[in-house]
Amino acid sequence: MKDIQSIKQRFGIIGNYPGLNRAIDIAVQVAPTDLSVLITGESGTGKESFPQVIHSYSARKHGPYIAVNCGAIPEGTIDSELFGHEKGAFTGATESRKGYFEVADGGTIFLDEVAELPLSTQVRLLRVLETGEFIRVGSSKVQKTNVRVIAASNVDVSKAIEHDRFREDLFYRLNTVPIKIPPLRERGEDIFLLFRKFAVDFAEKYRMPSIRLSNEAKNLLISYSWPGNVRQLKNITEQISIIESEREISYEVLHTYLPDYTGVKLPAVIKRDDDKSFSSEREILYKILFDMKSDMNDLKNLVLDLIKSGDIDLRFHESNSGLIKNLIRDTGRSEAVVSSPDHQDMDFTPLPRTNIQDTEEVVEESLSLTGKEIEMIKKALEKYNGKRKLAAQELGISERTLYRKIKEYEIEM
C-alpha cells in the first residue's frame, strides 16, 4: 500500500477506492513487460494518468512517450500522423514526414480514444502490433519499429465490434492486459477528497480563501451521479470558487451548480437491447396500462368468438346476458354476434353496473409516483425498525440515496 501511495503522490492520483487501487496495482505489475494494455472507463475518469505510470515504471522510461488523441485527428490524415508519409504522397505533402510510430521507436505510444480509428487504420495498427512493421503513406518500403502500445477507450469496444466499427482481432491484440477505471459516482468519499484538493488548488491559483461545504452539501456532493466524472467535479469546483462570495457552500448553492441533478431517483429499470426506451417512469406506467387494455380486448374477443361458435353453454347466456351485451357494445362486434342463429331470441337487458370500476380513477391513483415511493420507504423503515442500511437493501437503493430521500420527503423515523 505504501508503494501505491507514493505512485499516487507522484502522478497526482487522489482517492482510496479499492477499484482505483487495483487499477494502479495492475499498471505497476504490467509495466516491466511489453504487453499491450487497454484502459477502459468513462470520459473524465483520468485514464491518461495510467499510461504514464506504466511508461515510468518500465524499461522504456528513458525512451520517448507520445500520447495521441485518435478522435481529434481527421480521418483523411490519421494514417499520415501515425505512420508518416513520403513527399508527394498526397496534395500538400511537400516533404517526407515521420509518423508517431517512427518517432516513438524504443518508447511508448498512448492511443487515446482508439475506438475512433477508421477500419483501414485499424488494419495498419494490427500489423504494427503483430510484427512491428509499418509502411509510410505513399511508400512501398517496409520499416520496423519497437514501440509499446497502450490504448484507451471511453466506449464499450465489444458493442463497437458488434456494429462493425472495430476489428475483433485488434481488440484481442490490444486487450492483452485490461485495466478498468471506476467512474467517480462509485468512489464514495473519494469525491470529497478530490473536491477538497481542487478547492485548495484554485484558492492558491486565484489568491482567495478556499471554499468548504456544509454537511448537507457534502452529502449532496457524494450522492450526485457525476456524469462528467472527475473533469466535471473539477470544473464545478472552479466555478464555485470564482463566483461565490461566501466561502461556506450550502446545499442550495451547490444544487444550482449541478444541472443534471434530479431530485427523485427511483430504483433503476434494467434495460435490454430489445426493450423500448422510456423517458420517464410515467410512460412505463402508461405502457403497462395500455398493455392491460389490449389484453382485456383480446379476452373480450375470445369470449365473443366462443359465443358465436356456440361453445358456451346456454345457461351462461341466460345468467350473463348483460355482460355479453356490454362486451358486444365495447368491441363493436354486435352485428356478427346478433346475426348468429343461436342468439336471435336472447334477452340483452344490461346488468347493474355497481361492481364495475372506473378505469380512469385507477390510472390517476397509479400515477402518484412520489406518494408510492414515500409509502415504500416508510414500510421498509418500519420493517427494519428504522435501520437505514437494511431498509436501503430492501428497496434496492444505496444508503446515501435513502438518507437523501428521507430528508427530502421529511419522513419521520
Q: What is the pLDDT of residue 230?
A: 96
Q: What is the pLDDT of residue 54?
A: 97
> Average pLDDT for residues 379-405, to the nearest whole number?
83
> Average pLDDT for residues 248-254, to the nearest whole number?
95
Q: In terms of pLDDT, which residue wins out, 5 or 403?
A: 5
Q: What is the pLDDT of residue 374?
A: 86
Q: What is the pLDDT of residue 357?
A: 47
List, as one string, the DSSP characters of 273-297: TTSPP-SSHHHHHHHHHHHHHHHHH
* Integer-rounded Cα radius of gyration of the chain: 32
List, as one string, the DSSP characters of 226-256: -TTHHHHHHHHHHHHHHH-S-SEEPHHHHHH
Neighbour-count burial for 162-190, b at 16+ CB within 10 Å, e otherwise:
eeebbbeebbebbbebebebbbbbebeeb
Which ranges in 12-117 belong to alpha helices (H)? 18-30, 49-56, 78-83, 100-103
Q: What is the pLDDT of residue 331?
A: 53
Task: Tell me what percent of the residues of the chain surpass a pLDDT of 90.
Answer: 59
Q: 227 is written with which cell numbers? A: 456524469
Q: What is the pLDDT of residue 146?
A: 96
Q: What is the pLDDT of residue 91?
A: 86
Find the Cα–Cα–Cα–Cα dihedral 401, 402, 406, 408, rounded to 10°. Answer: 20
Kindly report, residue by residue over 301-338, the tens digit of the pLDDT. Answer: 777 777 666 655 555 555 556 655 665 555 554 444 44
Kindly report, residue by residue over 367-391, the tens digit of the pLDDT. Answer: 466 777 888 888 888 888 888 888 8
Q: In terms of pLDDT, which residue wins out, 396 or 15?
A: 15
Confidence of residue 188 (pLDDT cuts 50, 70, 90): very high
Kindly report, residue by residue over 89-100, the tens digit of the pLDDT. Answer: 888 889 999 999
Kindly report, residue by residue over 127-156, the tens digit of the pLDDT. Answer: 999 999 999 999 999 999 999 999 999 999
Query: Rounded to whole angstroms, how far apart are CA atoms 107 and 405?
Result: 52
Q: What is the pLDDT of residue 315?
A: 53
Q: What is the pLDDT of residue 127?
A: 96
Provide the whole-model pTM.
Answer: 0.62
- Structural domains in the chain, sorted by start: 2-89+97-182 (3.40.50.300), 185-256 (1.10.8.60), 303-352 (no CATH), 368-409 (1.10.10)
pLDDT higher than 90, residue 228: yes
